[in-house]
Amino acid sequence: MSVLNGWPKMGHELRRPEADYLRDGVYELRWRFQSVNYRILYFFHGRDVIVLSNGLTKEDRVSSQEIALAVRRKAVFENDPSGHTYTEE
């Protein structure tokens, strides 16, 4: 099973090695292809998944600065969810 195929279906239940809890409600979805580590930082808002950042790196882990940025973005979203949510008209 591809990590991306299992992600939306498993939600909170997805665990290592595909996903891991970082801190302050922020999780990391990860997979590796050849020498590149792909990462998506996200959190849950009710039953929705909110993506905070994404990227790729040759590092084995997400930097503390990137995690801190994701935590700040999460706080901004939580202060005004409707202002940061796309709604199709």
Question: What pLDDT does residue 56 have?
Answer: 63
Domain ranges of the chain: 3-81
pLDDT in tens, the chain (89 residues): 455 555 556 666 777 778 889 999 999 988 878 888 888 898 888 877 787 887 767 677 788 898 999 999 999 999 998 888 888 88
Q: Which residues contact 59 (CB under 8 A, 6 or more apart)?
A: 37
State the pLDDT at residue 40.
87
Looking at residue 88, its pLDDT comes to 86
Answer whether 26's CB lies under 8 Å from 39's CB: no
Amino acid, single-letter form, for residue 67: I
